[in-house]
A = this chain, B = another copy of it.
């Protein structure tokens, strides 16, 4: 039995586009162009994941998200028009599990749907990128407050340094190449520049963490491959 995805977006073409893609991937879909009937649907049917637009005429996505959360605990992915940080933080607080900004790439959305479903079904799976608080040994990274501390002592990181560390931490143990890291940090803009600066940022982070390249406690260099962060 395929997973059922709920789609709510007042922009008909967008909703239908998502619908098409998810159906092509073998999911069952329930598509609504306004919030109220979507809510009714949730009460009656078994939904595995919801994709909610934030900007909607009758109810805004945040309210809808809250209402859904009162009823169910399946993953929620929010669609937002711009890369609005405030929206992002608010949304995560309200119970959304992931964020996609419009205009989005359909296959990326599909990928995130798959990722969320996988994570939801297997609790032991790696933590999601949107996980607010990541703790690895004495290292704490709070995406919500954008704070970071090592052994209880606050680390003052620049934006790029923070992103880099968060990405490494949320893929704990996994080796990531400079290419992958660049792509994660800068999304699409990265192609216009090289990725040599990753090593510099790594160095700065290590410096602030009091780590040396020869004897790292957290950030390890894997020669010829990339970097990884773990607590071994």
Contacts and interface: CB of A to CB of B under 8 A. Distances in A.
Interface in A102-116: 103-108, 110-112, 114-116
A174 B144 contact: yes
Contacts of A110: 73, 123
A89 B103 contact: yes
A73 B158 contact: no
Interface in A3-21: 13-14, 17, 20-21
Given A159-B224, A175-B145, A73 B123 contact: no
A94 B158 CA distance: 37
Given A92-B103, A93-B13, A159-B224, A111 B144 contact: no
- The size bracket of the interface on A is 35 or more
Interface string A90-131: 001111111000011111101110111011101100000000
Contacts of A123: 110-111, 114-115
Contacts of A119: 107-108, 111
A173 interface: yes
Q: Which of A105, A107, A120 has the most CB of B within 10 A?
A: A107
Interface of A: 13-14, 17, 20-21, 24-25, 69, 73, 75, 88-89, 92-98, 103-108, 110-112, 114-116, 118-120, 122-123, 144-146, 158-160, 173-175, 179-180, 183, 188, 191-192, 222-225, 228, 230
